[in-house]
Amino acid sequence: MTILISFIGPTGSGKSTAAAILSEQLGAPIEKVAQPLYHLQKHFYSVLGRSVEGQDGELLQFFGSKIERESPGWLAARYLEGLAGRCEEVIINDDCRLNAFRQLRGAGFRFVWVEAPASIRRERLRRDHVRADESHETEVGYSEMAYDFRIDNSGSLVQLRDQVRMVVRWLGIRERFN
């Protein structure tokens, strides 16, 4: 049976970094619920004849909200359809928002909360093309999302790696790479 893990927490908390470390430690794939949003962002800038580095948080938030209003639950349903029949030992999602949380929980995902102080999160977002709006509707609802494990990502990358190793132990899985 595949173990399904999803990271939750505010933008800039380090969810994708923690997921990448877990992926590296387990040799497990990262499959993103929000992948369609990244495709839309790429296409949007392609139409404009521009190439951008990093995420356009404003655009991703717009796309996510618009999709949810037009077809509630579509992102999570599409994601779960793509996972059907997969046989990896572990599959990782690096960012779950409230609109997908209930569907992923119902599908058996376990959730890892990643937190970091607002000052650290803002510093990390400076690399994005356009920063996400921390007060946007896609950035709320975390209090409604129960998690199974918590990571405090206010320290160094070495400390984050150590905490991700604790997630591996919690899952009862042996690391593939050390």
Residue 153 within any structural domain of the chain = yes
> What is the rounded average pLDDT of the residues 76-84?
96
> What is the rounded average pLDDT of the residues 151-176?
89
pLDDT value of residue 178: 44
| Pairing assessment for the beta strands 149-152 and 110-115 based on DSSP bridges | parallel
Domain of 98, CATH number, reads 3.40.50.300
Range of the domain at 22: 3-171
Give the chain's domain count.
1
What pLDDT, in 10s, does the model give residues 98-144?
Answer: 999 999 999 999 999 999 998 888 887 767 788 888 888 888 888 88
The model carries a pTM of 0.89
Helices (H) and strands (E) in the chain, counts: 7, 4
pLDDT value of residue 176: 59
152 vs 118 pLDDT, higher one: 152
What pLDDT, in 10s, does the model give residues 29-64?
Answer: 999 999 999 999 999 999 999 998 888 999 999 999
Residue 50 within any structural domain of the chain = yes
> What is the rounded average pLDDT of the residues 147-161?
95
Residue 176 within any structural domain of the chain = no
Spatial distance between the Cα atoms of 68 and 144, rounded to a whole number of angstroms? 18
Residue 120 within any structural domain of the chain = yes
Terminal-to-terminal C-alpha distance of the chain = 24
